[in-house]
Chain A
Amino acid sequence: MPGLEIPTWDPETALLIGTILLEAIVLYVGYGGLERLFGPYLMNLLVGGESNAQ
């Protein structure tokens, strides 16, 4: 197949992809924590008063 190549080790590219992977994990954990902390407050703000619609 023309142009088919085996990926070679490149530390800079590995760091780049590793950074994206790390960001994804941090965002998953971070936003999860923020949702638990501020979720009920935001729901009250948006829907108004006590809400158990979730």
Chain B
Amino acid sequence: MLNSLLDGLGALGTSPEMIALFVGFGLVVGVLFGFFGMGGSFLVTPALLMLDYPAPVAVGSGMAFVFGTAVIATLKHHDLGQVDYKLGAIMITGTTIGIEAGRASVYYLESLGLAGGIISVAYVVLLGGVGAMVTRDALNSDGGDGIDHEASDRDLDEYEIPEIAKTIQQTVRIPPMVTLRGDVRVSAWVITAVAFATGLLSGFLGVGGGFIRMPAMIYAIGVPVPVAVGTDLFEIVFSGGLGSYLYGQGGGVNLGIVAPLLFGSALGARIGSAATAVVDADGIKIYFGGMLLIGSIAVGIGEIGSYTGNPTLELLGLVLVIGAAVVVAFAILYTTVSSLRQTRRQGATAAD
């Protein structure tokens, strides 16, 4: 009975070696997510594609993993009072339609036999673009930039609204207008447009879309950073849940992939999150940008290997994408333990 149930959910189709690999990869992805507050999840889908899972399974399982991760993160942010439920409700509507449009595109492309290739190309562009942006940001950083999931304790009113958000708020005044936390007043249509665009990306690539949605909420809608972070996570629970459900109906969610990934990432996220209290993120941000750039190159190499039928290139792509994530995760752990030991030595010297 239990066997047939688990088999029906796809949990028995994964070998012990693959389960161990997924737990380990989940741990690495979790450390990155916990530390940087973004980014880990969009390594999962390309890795699954390179492991020769069909595109709907890679995207569907990637999305189910994002859903589970978002549930865990939202539980934490709920206690901090950083969720705007009104903004979240409007965002959910726009994102739902966007996700469905993105998902329909994946199945349409799959029927043409083009899904794997086009999704991989989109990842190359996306990872390359975000990687270049983060690296440039890290090189130019004066220590105050970036989006921090461990948002500070400042009052919401103290956050300055970016100029571009002010311009949008003043020019786009199509009713209904809504007032959000932090005393932000904006047209519901602006929120819906942002939600649709990011939902489309989510449905097409199987990512949470937070790395696009959070900057969009801050720069296009003008909400304070902690509210953008909390509301984004709240929304991913719904959008990721619905997206996973839709992919699950088409057989695209494999519990044998998602469960071990989540098992590892929940632990990794705790470690990564604790590390932010010890290590300055700006120092490691450049590695993160580099990791995304290597990821984009790896996906490209894997695709070339797949088209030319060269298994060595496919393997090289997989090793590069997982290797880059592992190196950055270990850099975080090593720096954290070193910083703790240094703090302890300084404490001991001061006591002497």
Most chain B beta-carbon neighbours within 10 Å: one of A14, A16, A43: A16
Residue on A with the closest CB to B262?
Answer: A23
Known contacts A2-B108, A13-B249, A19-B9; is-contact A24 B262 (Cβ 8 Å): yes
- CB of A31 closer than 8 Å to a CB of B: yes
Count of residues in B whose CB is under 8 Å from the partner chain? 42
Assembled-state Cα–Cα distance A48/B253 (Å): 43
| Pairwise interchain contact B248-A27, C-beta atoms closer than 8 A | no
B344 & A48 in contact (Cβ 8 Å cutoff):
yes
CB distance from A19 to the nearest CB of B (A): 6
Known: A2-B108, A27-B262, A27-B266. A7 touches B72 (CB 8 A): no
**Distance of A46 Cα from B219 Cα, bound (Å):** 41
Kindly state the separation between the CA atoms of A47 and B274 in the bound complex, as whole angstroms. Answer: 14
- Does B314 reach chain A (CB closer than 8 Å)? no
Asked whether A20 lies within 8 Å of B100 as measured between CB atoms, the reply is no
In the complex, number of A-B residue pairs with CB atoms less than 8 Å apart? 107
A contacts with B: majority SS: helix
**Do A53 and B340 touch (CB < 8 A)?**
yes
- Residues of B close to A48: CB separation below 8 A: 341, 344
List A contacts of B270 (CB < 8 A).
31, 35
Q: How far is the CB of B106 from chain A (nearest CB, A)?
A: 10
Is A37 in the interface zone, CB < 8 Å from B? no
Q: How far is the CA of A2 from the CA of B12 in the complex (A)?
A: 35
Report if A47-B344 is in contact (Cβ < 8 Å); known contacts: A3-B107, A5-B100: yes
B315 within 8 A of A: no
Q: Is B104 an interface residue (CB 8 A)?
A: yes
Which residues in window 77-107 of B have CB below 8 A to A?
A: 97, 100-101, 104-105, 107
How many Å from the CB of B35 to the closest CB on chain A? Answer: 16
Q: Which residues of A contact B258 (CB under 8 A)?
A: 20
Q: Which of B138-146, B187-195, B238-246 contacts A (4 or more CB under 8 A)?
A: B238-246
B229-272 CB mask vs A (1 if < 8 Å, else 0) is 00000000000011011101100010100110011001100100
Across the interface, do A27 and B263 meet the contact criterion of CB distance under 8 Å?
A: yes
Known: A16-B248, A17-B64, A17-B245. A24 touches B277 (CB 8 A): no
Residue in A4, A52, A53, A54 with the greatest tally of chain B CB atoms within 10 Å? A53
- A13-B245, A53-B343 as given contacts; A24 in contact with B266, CB under 8 Å: yes
Interchain CB contact (< 8 A) of A13 among B71, B105, B248, B266: B248
A8 to B72, CA, bound (A): 27
Using CB atoms, name the residue of chain A closest to B265: A27
Q: Which chain B residue lies CB-closest to A21? A: B71
Bound complex: CA A51 to CA B340 (Å): 8
- Say whether B245 contacts A7, CB under 8 Å: yes
- Complex Cα distance, B230 from A6, in Å, reads 28
* A49 and B344 in contact, given A14-B245, A23-B262, A24-B262 (Cβ under 8 angstroms): yes
Are B241's CB and A31's CB within 8 A?
Answer: no
Question: Nearest Cβ in chain B — how far from A26, in angstroms?
Answer: 9
Contact B71 A3 (CB under 8 A): no
Task: Determine whether the beta carbon of B266 is less than 8 Å from that of A46.
Answer: no
Chain A, residue nearest B6 (CB): A19
Shortest CB-to-CB span from B332 to chain A, Å, is: 14
Partner of B249, one of A10, A24, A35, A47: A10
**23 A-B Cβ contacts within 8 A?**
A3-B104, A4-B97, A10-B249, A15-B9, A16-B253, A19-B9, A19-B259, A20-B68, A20-B255, A20-B259, A21-B71, A24-B262, A24-B266, A27-B266, A27-B267, A28-B266, A31-B270, A47-B337, A47-B344, A49-B344, A51-B340, A53-B344, A54-B274
**Given A21-B67, A23-B259, A48-B344, 5 more contacts at CB 8 Å?**
A10-B245, A17-B64, A20-B68, A21-B71, A51-B340
